[in-house]
Chains A and B, each alone.
Chain A
Amino acid sequence: QKEVEQDPGPLSVPEGAIVSLNCTYSNSAFQYFMWYRQYSRKGPELLMYTYSSGNKEDGRFTAQVDKSSKYISLFIRDSQPSDSATYLCAMTEGGSEKLVFGKGTKLTVNP
C-alpha cells in the first residue's frame, strides 16, 4: 500500500459547485498535512496547511484532517473556473524531513 493515496480524477464540476478532494494515508506518524495547488506547467503552491486533526478554513477553502481514519479532505465552496488545477495533498511526520505527496487530483471547473 502506498503511503499516500489520492484519486487522480479527472474531476469536472460546474461553476459554483462544492468540490471535495480527499487523500488517505497509512503512516499514523504523519502530523502535518498540506494541500498544494498546481496550475498547468507551473510549480505547486501551498494552499492550506494543518497540524494534527481538525478543520481549517481560509476563504472558500476548508481543510479537514481525521487522524483516526487517516483521511484528509479539501473542500472548495463556490468553485470558480480559476480553481481549475491539479490539487496535491502532502504530509510529513514533523521530526522527519521528508514530505510525501499524493499523486494529485486534476480538477476542471466549467463556466
Chain B
Amino acid sequence: DTAVSQTPKYLVTQMGNDKSIKCEQNLGHDTMYWYKQDSKKFLKIMFSYNNKELIINETVPNRFSPKSPDKAHLNLHINSLELGDSAVYFCASSQYALTDTQYFGPGTRLTVL
C-alpha cells in the first residue's frame, strides 16, 4: 500500500534519447510535484499540478514536460536527454498546497551517458 510510487527506480540511457518517469499516489491528494535532486543533494521543485492543472513551472528547460492524466498520476517526460539531466527525480503529493504535508516517492535515479 505504497503512498507515492515511481517507476522506474533506476534509468540509464544515452544522450539524446527521450524517456518518461511515472508517478502515482493513492492518498487521494489534489496536488502533485516533481523535484530534482542533483549530485550535491540540492532538492529543487520543477513542477506542481493541482487537480491536473499546472500551477508551478520553475525555470526548467522545455525538454521537460509533465503530464497529468488524472489527479492521482503525474508523469514526467524528458526529450533529448543531456548529461546534466543526470539526477534523482522525486515525485511528491500533498492534500491541497505546499503548506500541507508533502509525501515523497522513493525517487528515480536517472543517469545519462
Contact = CB atoms under 8 A, between A and B. Distances in A.
Interface of A: 8, 32, 41-46, 49, 86, 88, 92, 94, 96-99, 101, 103-104, 106
Given A42-B106, A43-B105, A96-B98, A101 B44 contact: yes
B102 A98 contact: no
Contacts, number: 52
B29 to A, nearest CB: 14
B107 to A, nearest CB: 5
B98 A104 contact: no
Contact of B106 (A43, A94, A97): A43
Contacts of A97: 48, 55-56, 97-98
Interface size class of B (residues with CB under 8 A): 20 to 34
Interface of B: 4, 40-45, 48, 55-56, 58, 90, 92, 97-99, 101-107, 109
Contact of A44 (B40, B43, B109): B43
A45 B104 contact: yes
A5 to B, nearest CB: 12
B2 to A, nearest CB: 11
A82 to B, nearest CB: 19
